[in-house]
Each structure stands twice: as structure tokens, then as C-alpha cells.
Amino acid sequence: MDSRELEHVQRGVFAQLAARIQPPFLGGNTYPLDYSSTSNANAIRDVIISYAASGLTHAMLENAWTNFPSAGASMSYLSQANFVRALQFTDDLTAAGIGRIDVVLSGRDYHPALDTAGAEYAAAMNLLTQSSRFDVYTRFCNSNSYDSSDAAGTQAVTSYGQLWTSTAWFHALGRPTSARSVTGTAGVTSLVYSRTYQFGSVQVTVPVTGSPTAVVTRTQ
């Protein structure tokens, strides 16, 4: 089989796969994200949504729900104001029919078990913002995945190839039974976001200052 025949076979296989795998999945990397102002967030949102006409189905949001953490640290959470902007940003993508791959970053190199609070937060944000299409996915990894080597310069860092497991990923709450709700006043009090599922609930509390707390509870 020569190269032209091989290419013909490959194109046929791809065409068959495209016809049988529904819905199609075409994701794009959208780092960096900037929630420091509404205009910045909206500009990035508009660019992402503009690609939907070309077939974009999902956006991979690098450092979703966090700032970029320092190596060895746990999480660097968004301020309350930036969290609110990030939430509106993801809601806008959902309304435009674009799913997400949220990359939630910890600085805990190679030791996800040391950051159970971060893993719970990542799981909770997935549940809070999951759409009716069930097209929100979450990747929890360390921030050094962007570096070419470790601190000593002797070992390649490939955390995107690592599977960070946590009990936070196995809540099995079933389908959502309510939309997300919130209590509190931004800039004045803590914002408490919650949502119920068939077999449990999720709650994320975002204070005016300080780190948010996340609780995912299975009730059945």
C-alpha cells in the first residue's frame, strides 16, 4: 500500500468516526484568562464564542477558579470579585452552547493527597456549574505542568500525564435537582453558593477576603 492509498484509507476511517461519534468534540485552549475586570473577561469570552461558528464545542480554561499558584503552595484562590466575574464568564459560555474543560491548579508537585481541600473545591465548582448537557469536565493538577524541568533542572515535569485521584471525585450525586442559588451580598458579606442533586448537595462559600470553602455531601 503506497502513501496515497494509506491516506485514502485514513480519510475513510476518520469520516466513519466523525459520522458515528456524536456529538462532536472540538476543544480549544484559552489560557490565559483574566478576570481582573469585567471588560477583560468579556473580551476573552467573545473571542471564545466567536469560534463556535467554526465548530468549537469546548473551551479548556487554564487555571480555572484559581490564580496561578506558587510551586509548593496549595491553592491561590480568586478574590470574591474575580470569582463572581469568573462565574458569569462560565455561565456565558454555557448559554452559548460551549462546554468546558476546567484546569484547576495546585502547587503541590506530585502530591495531590496534600491538597484535599483543593480537590474538594475543584469537584464542587464542577457540580455548581455543570450544565444540563453534562459537558463540564475538570482536571486537577499542579502548576508546574507548564515548566520544562523541576527546580533542579534535572527532571522533566509532565503533570498533565499524571492522574491525581481524590475521594472528592467519587461523590456520585446523580443528576442535579435544582439550579445554582446564592445568598449574601458581594463586597459586603460572604457569598454562599449551593445546589442540590439527587443524592446530595454542594456548597461553596466565598468570603469577602480569604479562601473559599467547599463542601460536597452525599445524603443517600
pLDDT tens-digit series, residues 102-112: 988 876 655 55
- One-letter amino acid identity for 17? L
Strands, sheet with 99-106, edge to edge from the N-terminal-most edge strand: 27-29, 58-61, 99-106, 136-142
Per-residue model confidence (pLDDT) at position 27? 73
Confidence of residue 184 (pLDDT cuts 50, 70, 90): very high
Confidence of residue 186 (pLDDT cuts 50, 70, 90): very high
The percentage of the chain sitting over the pLDDT mark of 90, rounded to a whole number, equals 39
- One-letter amino acid identity for 118? G
pLDDT (tens digit per residue) in 68-101: 776 666 788 999 999 999 999 999 999 999 999 9
Contacts of residue 168, Cβ cutoff 8 Å, sequence gap at least 6: 116, 119, 120, 122, 123, 216
- This prediction's pTM: 0.81
Centroid of chain to Cα 182 = 20
| 3-state SS, residue 169 | helix
Q: Please, is 64 exposed, middle or buried when counting C-beta atoms within 10 Å of its C-beta (0-12, 13-18, 19+)?
A: buried
162 or 117: whose pLDDT is higher?
117
Q: Which of 187, 154, 174, 162 has its CA nearest to residue 216?
A: 174
Per-residue model confidence (pLDDT) at position 13? 56
